[in-house]
Structure formats: C-alpha cells, structure tokens
Amino acid sequence: MVSLNQLVAVCLMYVAGLFIVAFAAERAALRGRGGWLLRSPLIYTLSLSIYCTAWTFYGAVGYAARSGLEYVTIYLGPSLVMIGWWWGLRRLVRIGRSHRVTSIADLISSRYGKSNALAIVVTVMAVIGVTPYIALQLQSVILSLSIFAAPNMPLAEAGGDVINRGQAALWVAAGLTLFTVLFGTRNLNVNERHHGVVIAIAVEAVVKLLALVAVGVYVIWGLAGGLSETLTRIDASDIGQWEVQGSRWAALTMLSGAALLCLPRMFQVMVVENDDERQLQIASWAFPLYLMLMSLFVVPIAVVGLDLMPEGSNPDLFVLSLPLSQGQNGLAMLSFLGGFSSATSMVIVATLALSTMVSNHIVMPIWLALRREGATQSGDVRNIVILARRLSIFCVVGLGYLYYRASGGSGALAAIGTISFGGVAQFLPAMLGGVLWRGATRAGALWGLGTGFALWVFTMLLPSFGADVALSSATLEHGLWGLAWLRPEALFGVTGIDPTVHAVVWSLSLNTLAFVVVSLFSFPAPLERLQGAQFVNVFDHSGPARGWTASVAGSEDLMIMAQRILGAVEAQAFFTREAERQGHGARLPEPTPRFVQALERELAASVGAATAHAMVAQIVGGASVSVQDLLAVADESAQMLEYSSQLETKSRELTETAAQLRTANEKLTQLSLQKDSFLSQISHELRTPMTSIRSFSEILRDAPKLSDADKNRYASIIHSETIRLTRLLDDLLDLSVLENGQVTLNQRKGSLRDLLDLAVITAQAGAARPLEVQRDLQAEDITLYSDLDRLVQVFINLVTNARKYCAAAVPQLVITPRVEPDGLVIDFVDNGQGIDAASEALIFEKFSRITGEGDGAGLGLAICREIMLRLGGEISFLGDLPGTAFRVKLPASAVSQVHPSA
Amino acid sequence: MPRTPIFLEKRSYRQRRMMDAVRLMPFLGLMLWMVPLLWPLPEATPAPGTDDAAMPMSVALRYLFGVWALLTLASWALWRRTRSIASGEGPAESVDGPR
C-alpha cells in the first residue's frame, strides 16, 4: 500500500526531475547546443500532446463508462485537423512566424489592424473559457491524491476528510505557478521560445502515454485475460452497443477540431513554439498516432472498471483506482504520475499562453495609457513586462484555484471540458475568416466574437452551474424575461436537441453569420486592409507591411525604448545588425520605414503586436498609416505624375529646339560655304578685267612705237573693262544694299506701259541683233504704285537676258501682263531653248551663269529677286513653257491702291 | 517572368499528385469517421425482428480504430514521399496549378 507521504515524495522527485530537465534544456539552448533535440519534430509532436489533459487522461474513461464511444470524438476532430495540416495549420504557422505572433489574441488583433480592443475581447474570452479548465486540472490532481489517501473508501469523491483539499489544491497551484514563472518568464521574447517548458512537457507527454498504455495493457492482458476476451466483455457490458447520437457525434468532432486550433495553449505550442514547417509535416501523422494510442485503451479500462469496481465508484478515476484495487501499487503510482503530468503540463502552458495575452493586451496597454509621458521616459519597460507577465500567471492560476474552490470540485470532468471547448471555439470564425478571407473586417470580428460569446455564456456556461445558481430555474424553463424563444436550451423555440449540440450549433452559426454579414457591410481601415492582404497572401509575400513614416522618429528614442524591452545587449545587437544591413558604419541605423518595421516586429515578439505598435507609434508619432497619410501619398504621386509629364513635355521641346538648332547650324554652314564661294567668285570676277586693264596699260606704257589706232584701241579696251568693273561693283553694292534691307523704296505712281517702254528701249540700246518684243498694249494700261525705278531695273534685266541669251534665229519676247485677284502678274516668255531642269534652281543665285558666255557677272537675276522681295512681290522661273519664261508678280496693293483714281 | 510549363516531367507530376493526396486526406478521414452517423441506434430500431440491429461495441471500436490506423499510416506514407517538397514550396503550387 502506498502511503500518501510516499506518493508525495515520488511526486516531488518527479517534479524536481522536470525542473532539472527544463533547466538543462534552457542551459543547452542558451549555449546553442542540443538544437537538434530542441528543434526536433519529435519534441514538437510530444509538446502538442498537452491537448491531452487530465480531462482526457482520467475523464475519457469516465466519459466512456457513461456514454460509450462518444469520448473518441474529442480525439477525432484534432486528428482530422492535423491530417489536414495543409489547409489551415500550415498557413497559421507561416503567419505566426512571419508576423512573430505571440498568442491567438495577438494573431486576431494583428490581423484586424492591430486592434487592441479586439485583443482585449479575445483575451477576456480566453480567460473566461480556460479558467474552468485549469480548475478542472487542479480538481483531477486533488481527486487522484485523495484516492491514495483513502483507498478503502468506496466513494472516492468523499476523500475530503483525509486530506484538506483546499490546502492541497493551493500547494499544487503554487508549485505550478512557480514552475511557470521560472521557465515561462525567463526570457521575454516569446519567439525565442521556452525550451525548458517545451522539453518538460515533452517528457510529461511520454510519461502520460506510457502510464495509460501500461494500465491498458495490464487491464487487457492482466485482468481481462486477452484481447478477444476483452472484446467479448465489452460487447456484454452496459456500453456494449453503439448508442451515440449522430448529432452529438458530428458536433463534438467539429468542436474538438475547432478547439485544437483555438485553444490558447494549443496555439502556443503549435504556432508560437514552432520554428520549422517540417515539424508540422511530421506531426501531421505522428500526432494522430499519439492520440490514437491515448484513446485505444480507454474502452477496455472503462468496461473492466465497471465490472470490477464496486458500485458507485467514480468512473473518472478508474485509471487509478483499478490498479490500486488490484494491489498494483507501482502501476498505480505510474498512473498517478501520468495524470499528474497531464494536469501540470496543461496548466503550465495554458497559464503561459494566457498570461502572455493578459500582460500584452490588458496590463501593458493600461500601463502605457497611465504613463502619459510615453515609452521613452524613465522606467525599465522590460522589468515591467516581465512583472506583468508574472502577475498575470498568478492571476490566471489564482482564478483557476478560486473557481475550483467555488465550484467545490463538483461536476463530471468531461462536462467542464466541453464547455471550455465551446468557449474557445468562438474564435474560429474570426481567426479562419481573417486568415482566408480578405474581406473580413474588425467590426465583423467584434460582432461575431460578441455574438458567439454571449450565446455561449447563455446557452452553455450559465446552465452548466445548474438551476438557480447562475440562471433561475424560471429562466431555464420559460426563457429570459419570460420570453419563450429565449430559453437557454431551446433558443428560438427549437426544442428536442441535445443541449451541447444546441449550444454549439447556435453559438457558432450565429457567430459566423454576424461575422460575415458585418464584414460584408463594413469598411476596413487602411492598416487593417494592409494586414489582411499580408495574412491572406502570406505565401506570396512574407514581407512586413510597410507604413511607418519614420522621418520624425529619432533613432536614439527608439534605441532607448528597445533597450528597455529587449534588454540592453540584445537591443544594441539588433541595432548594430540593422545599421550594418543599411550599409553604413554608424552605430545607430537610420530610422527608415523598413527598420522601424523590423523593430516593431521585434518588439511585438516581446509585448504583442498591438502594444508594440502603440509604443512605436508614441515615438514615431501617429498611427503608421492613416487615411490622411494615404491621401498625402496619393497626392504626392499625382504631383509626381504631373511633374514627370511636364518633364516629358520639356524634353520634347528640347528635342525640337535641338532639331531647329541643328537645321540652323546646317544653314549657317551652308551660308559660310556660300560666302566662301562668293568671295572666291568675286575675286575671280574682279581679276579678269583687272588683268586685261593691267596688261593693256603696260603695253601703252612700255611699247614705244604704237600707232594711234592701236593706242586708241587699247585705251578703249581699258575703258570698257573699267566700265565692266564699275558695273560689277555697282551690282555688288546694289545687291548688298538690297540684301541688307537698307534700301529705301521710292514709291510713286506710274503706268506699266511707260515702264515697259523704257525697259525695252534701254535694253535694246546699242544691240547688234535686235529682239522682237511682242506686247499687249491694251493689257498694259495699268497704273502702278511702287518703286518704279527698281521695277524698271527688273524689266530691263529680263529683256536684256532675253536679248543676250535667246538662241533662236529670230529671237522673240512676249510680254503679257494680267491682273489677278492677288496682284499683277507679268510673264516674259522668249522662244529660246530654255533652261535645263538642273540649272533652274541656280539661276537666281549670285554669279550663276548658265552658258558661260556673255559679259554679265551673273548678278542680274539675283538682284531682280531681291528687288521683287523688297517690293512685296516675287520673280519665278516657269519651267513648263517652251522657251525661257519668267514671271514677275506684284502684290495687289501695288495695283489696287491706284485703281480708284485710274 | 518565365511561364510555368503546362506539362511536367514524370517525377514532378508524381510529386504534385502526392500533394493532392495530402490535401484530400482530411476529407477521406471525415467521410470515414462520419460513417457511424448511419449506424442504427438501439432506441431507433424498435421494429420487431430488427432488435439485434444495434452495432456491437467491438465492431465499432475495430472500425474507428482501423480507420485511425489507416489514416495515420497513409499520412506517414505520404509524408515519406512529399517531405522534400511540401515545406519549401510557395503559393504558385496551388490546387489548380500545372497538371
């Protein structure tokens, strides 16, 4: 017979062993050794086994003894969720890692725009939902202790006389608190993970599995006498038939699956403590295997227990009382340690998870709000956070203890567990919706959570206390305020459903409905939309949401704050690393948005996303992204667009200018070439007469015997050459005056006929071969108002050209003037051979002589063109007529001004 | 951005089908474990001549745990074949990705 003292001694030794293991793991992790073990998928899978609490260790047997195979649903749901890891868990784990999520409240608040209100709601709900569960663990430990204390008492529940239950529970609670405080708040950064705790619960997982399997093996082969005998016995027992209601079967499977995702402690070990997705992959088959082994022997133990144990024994404790009644003290001890392990590991992790949530989302925000001077001011935030977390641990365990004392340890274990599951399952729509659906909004989440939670409290939690405790029996019978459709167990008049199914279905479906509908009709804030996109598309871009406009944030301020949260050494290391990454040697990095974002992420791992956000916001100033900021950004980009289009226009203009400049340059080059050729031609033109003048004057001077006739001839040659020179110089002067625009027009009236008369006479004067000029005297009766002298000059030039260059046998020139709407047109057409097309372009150029004969300098037509330009008209060559044809045009003003008087 | 090929070589094809199997696994499990909904309940079969229709506990146990073992085994086998790809792949590998 094991005495209570022996038991306590073994128990203490076991706890001491756990302490040592945890301590060693912490040390190893600190030195960077043993990483393969700490990060191994085996440890991860075993740590998941905190799902199996004392409720499942002891309670499953009791559950099976009462309702047959229904207990197995509690394991089926989680198994399905794990097997379907690809759909949900993989996403959660990735999000948890990339956003450094610290708890389920942190995940939900972070997803919905780092809303602290949401975090508080989730935290409060989690505390209310999980506290009974912690009480349940205390109760199970005390119950199992009392069995040892009073083994001979048929009603094990009556062991209260032997040990002081309250005191024992207090001791257990104190021990658990100590362990959690020691190993759970050792390091602040949750993402550094609690290696000690994880290793300890892995050890406990092995112990509880071994214990249950050992008891099962003993029962089947030791007591029942083999497998087939056991099965026969099972079929013959009270629970020998399948009698699970279908609705309960489905609802409980779903509920337990949801609970696996939503329980804060499960979230802690599954997401927060995970550091490799491969661990999850292995757990996808290893965890169902573990669960299967845990539930395999439940029915045999229950059936044999029902057979062997005296009437009225508590079936919840068969695992313990069965070996004890058979005198198997060692097995009973192992079994006790298994149950003890289940209870303690659950309490430790649940407390850890809850205290993280409470301190990050309730204590820290209040503390920050109370200290108006902000996060940069005096006081070590790091200590405050750790203190807050330790206080939260005390509070959570204390609440569990108080609940245990208040409830008096009554009620079947399983019932409390289901209620707790129902409570935390309310997180499911907001969590899964937020992770899978970008349209989910904060308002939707708040409404969904509120609706679900209220319904859960009303239909599940309050009725569980029994009539007239929390709800009056009148309310239970006739509904709230006497409204029949508000009966807690028959909402909206739907009766005849199992209360658990009723509560689960109503609360979860209305929760989901409220969540979806409010989400559809509300509009998320900018930060919320950013976070939503990041969460839903976590596999596309695991990068952080940029958004801090950090120009005002001083790196020093951030440093001071980070030091007080992360610790001086860690913060400095972080800042140095960031400075190196930014690529300059300074000790402090620039407060770029990227850096501030990384810092916030780092802080979030210690104090949660919402608090970290608030603290950084205090220093950086304002929320990271407000609508105003977005508008400003939009404004800025619009301005930039405009600016760039302006630049584009300017550059186009520049291109055009450049093209113009290029053209001008080409023109200048051409002009320069023209000038050069002009000069060379001028000198050539001047040289020819000068040469003959010089040679003839030399003859006159040097030849002594010259006849008078010769002298006369030579002198006249010199004379005519000087005349030619003078004419050339006159022409050049004329041209230069005309080209420079220095000419002053001497406008007056005159008759065209007179002008032509003068021109023909002048041109024909002294001509050896007269030109026959045909004129239309009738048409020539036009009075002009122009510079008549210049005009005559043009006409003379044209008539002279015709006379000189017309090669016809009988040279003829036809002059036809006519008045057109836009002025006077005079054509000069001779019957010569014309000018070939190649030369047409050149005839108006200076010194252009087509044939090479003649005595002109080739300036005549150039002068004509200049004169006509000055007179506002033009002169052109008509190439399409036979012979050489020129057309002179005078503007209408030269004609019309005189018409009234004519 | 390079286009992903429409058809894959045999090895990648096989791996993708294995990942499909991983995804479909929970639905198979759900289906098999919801089969008990169809089993007759003792109270629900009052008709004479069928009073022995209730499902014996031993059969129910064998069925449920058999399915459990099967699912665990299948998950383990799939993990053996997919462990090299499943953890490293990104979103491009979606359900309706390249066949």
Mean pLDDT along residues A89-112: 84
What local confidence, expressed as pLDDT, does residue A289 receive? 92
Q: A110-114, A146-150, B25-29: which has the minimum mean pLDDT?
A: A146-150
B24-37 per-position pLDDT tens digit = 888 998 988 888 88
Mean pLDDT along residues A162-190: 72
Greater pLDDT, B7 or A65: A65
Determine which helix (DSSP H) or strand (DSSP E) holds A356, and give its type and residue range: helix A329-358
Which chain A residues are Cβ-neighbours of B29 within 8 angstroms?
79-80, 83-84
Mean pLDDT along residues A183-188: 66
What local confidence, expressed as pLDDT, does residue A665 receive? 92
A474-486 per-position pLDDT tens digit = 666 666 666 666 6
What local confidence, expressed as pLDDT, does residue A155 receive? 42
Whether ipTM exceeds 0.90: no
| pLDDT for residue B94 is more than 70 | no
| pLDDT for residue A219 is more than 70 | yes
What local confidence, expressed as pLDDT, does residue A100 receive? 76
Task: Please give the Cα distance from A343 to A337 (Å, whole number).
Answer: 10
What local confidence, expressed as pLDDT, does residue A629 receive? 56
* CATH number of domain containing A773: 3.30.565.10
Nearest to A288 among B43, B71, B90 (CB): B71
Domain stops at, among A526, A543, A560: A543
Q: What mean pLDDT value characterizes chain A?
A: 79
Q: Do residue B57 and residue A288 have CB atoms under 8 angstroms apart?
A: no
What local confidence, expressed as pLDDT, does residue A652 receive? 93
Mean pLDDT along residues A128-155: 75
φ and ψ of A599, to 5 deg: -65, -45
Greater pLDDT, A134 or B52: A134
Task: Please give the Cα distance from A876 to A821 (Å, whole number).
Answer: 18
Are residues A350 and A220 part of one domain? yes
| pLDDT for residue A864 is more than 90 | no
Give all strands (DSSP E) within A354-412, no chain letters.
none
Q: What percent of chain A has pLDDT over 70?
A: 83
Which chain A residues are Cβ-neighbours of B52 within 8 angstroms?
none
Are residues A825 and A734 part of one domain? no
φ and ψ of A891, to 5 deg: -70, 160
| pLDDT for residue A880 is more than 80 | no
Mean pLDDT along residues A364-372: 74
What local confidence, expressed as pLDDT, does residue A657 receive? 94
- The residue of chain A nearest to residue B89, with distances taken between CA atoms, is A539
Mean pLDDT along residues A557-568: 73
| Position A172 in a domain | yes
Look at residue A370 and give its three-state secondary structure.
Answer: helix
Residue range of the domain that includes A574: 549-622
Domains in chain A, number: 5
* CATH number of domain containing A125: 1.20.1730.10
A406-417 per-position pLDDT tens digit = 776 555 555 677
| pLDDT for residue A323 is more than 50 | yes
Reported as a pLDDT band with limits 50, 70 and 90, residue A379 is: low
Task: Tell whether B95 is within 8 A of chain A (Cβ).
Answer: no
Are residues A359 and A247 part of one domain? yes
What local confidence, expressed as pLDDT, does residue A651 receive? 93
| Position A375 in a domain | no
Q: Do residue A288 and residue B65 have CB atoms under 8 angstroms apart?
A: no
Q: DSSP characters for A524-591? A: --HHHHHHHHHHHTTTT--PPPP---GGG--HHHHHHHHHHHH-HHHHHHHHHHHHHHHT---SSPP-
Task: Tell whether B46 is within 8 A of chain A (Cβ).
Answer: no
Are residues A797 and A720 part of one domain? no
DSSP state of A157: G
- The residue of chain B nearest to residue A87, with distances taken between CA atoms, is B23
* pTM: predicted TM-score of the whole model, two decimal places: 0.65
| Position A901 in a domain | no
Q: What percent of chain A has pLDDT over 90?
A: 5
Tokens of A856: 């002109």
Distance of CA A777 to the CA centre of its chain: 91
| pLDDT for residue A201 is more than 90 | no
Greater pLDDT, A444 or A227: A444
| Position A263 in a domain | yes
| pLDDT for residue A655 is more than 60 | yes
Q: How far is CA B95 from CA A84, A803, B91, in A?
A: 14, 99, 10
Which is it for strands A812-820 and A783-786: parallel, antiparallel or unpaired? unpaired
Pick the most confident of A171-185, A344-358, A628-642, B63-77. Answer: B63-77
Are residues A34 and A69 part of one domain? yes
A670-689 per-position pLDDT tens digit = 888 878 887 887 888 788 88
| pLDDT for residue B91 is more than 60 | no
| pLDDT for residue B49 is more than 50 | no
Q: Do residue B91 and residue A537 have CB atoms under 8 angstroms apart?
A: yes
- The residue of chain B nearest to residue A68, with distances taken between CA atoms, is B57
Are residues A152 and A81 part of one domain? yes
* CATH number of domain containing A720: 1.10.287.130
Reported as a pLDDT band with limits 50, 70 and 90, residue A512 is: very high
Question: Across-strand partners of A269?
Answer: none
